[in-house]
């Protein structure tokens, strides 16, 4: 019971940190698409995924994205929520499953690289179908942006967030995960 309360508390703090990071840090990467903004919101979600597994990561994703959609990212509405859940959910499932199977430094690298590749691939497909449906942009116009703008944006956003996650996870993991010896 005590471990469940602790885990829930840590997950709530990670979700809150995700929202605060979006509020404090967000900026466009490409002038041609100023609505595509970098933000570090996925870092706490990935930390929670590595600490507690992919199911916890999905829960963190939905909770953090939902709060962001209702507060700091309200302008993007349901469209922003859906796209954020698709992108972050993809990386959480892929990286979380790989890291769960191989909890080593090498496993973390493989997990984060595979998660980034999966994120980028899935977002190409999601943008082709979801963006025209929500924005009214013609599919041809969205498709014309896939390789020169959307793919690089997703590579940068996922890549930076994965790199930071890789750098911070081990140093902070002892505070996130309760040491097994102290049970």
8 Å CB contact between 57 and 38: no
| Dihedral sign for Cα atoms in the order 50, 47, 162, 147 | positive
Helix (H) or strand (E) holding 38: strand 37-38
The Cα 156–Cα 32 span in angstroms is 16
Residue pLDDT, tens place only, 71-125 = 998 888 999 999 999 999 999 999 999 999 999 999 999 999 999 999 999 999 9
pTM value is 0.93
Q: Report the topology of domain 2-24+37-182.
A: Arp2/3 complex 21 kDa subunit ARPC3 (1.10.1760)
Residue pLDDT, tens place only, 44-68 = 999 999 999 999 999 999 999 999 9
């Amino acid at each position: 019971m005590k471990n469940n309360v602790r885990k829930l508390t840590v997950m709530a703090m990670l979700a809150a940190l995700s929202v605060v990071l979006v509020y404090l840090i967000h900026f466009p990467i490409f002038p041609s698409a100023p609505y595509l903004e970098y933000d570090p919101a996925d870092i706490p979600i990935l930390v929670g995924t590595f600490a507690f597994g992919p199911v916890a990561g999905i829960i963190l994703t939905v909770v953090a994205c939902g709060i962001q959609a209702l507060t700091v990212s309200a302008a993007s509405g349901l469209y922003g929520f859906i796209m954020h859940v698709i992108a972050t959910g993809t990386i959480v499932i892929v990286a979380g499953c790989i890291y769960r199977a191989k909890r080593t430094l090498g496993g973390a690298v493989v997990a984060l690289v595979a998660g980034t590749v999966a994120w980028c691939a899935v977002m190409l497909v999601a943008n082709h179908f979801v963006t025209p449906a929500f924005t009214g942009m013609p599919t041809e116009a969205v498709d014309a942006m896939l390789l020169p703008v959307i793919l690089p944006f997703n590579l940068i956003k996922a890549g930076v967030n994965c790199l930071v996650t890789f750098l911070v996870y081990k140093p902070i993991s002892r505070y996130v995960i309760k040491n097994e010896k102290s049970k």
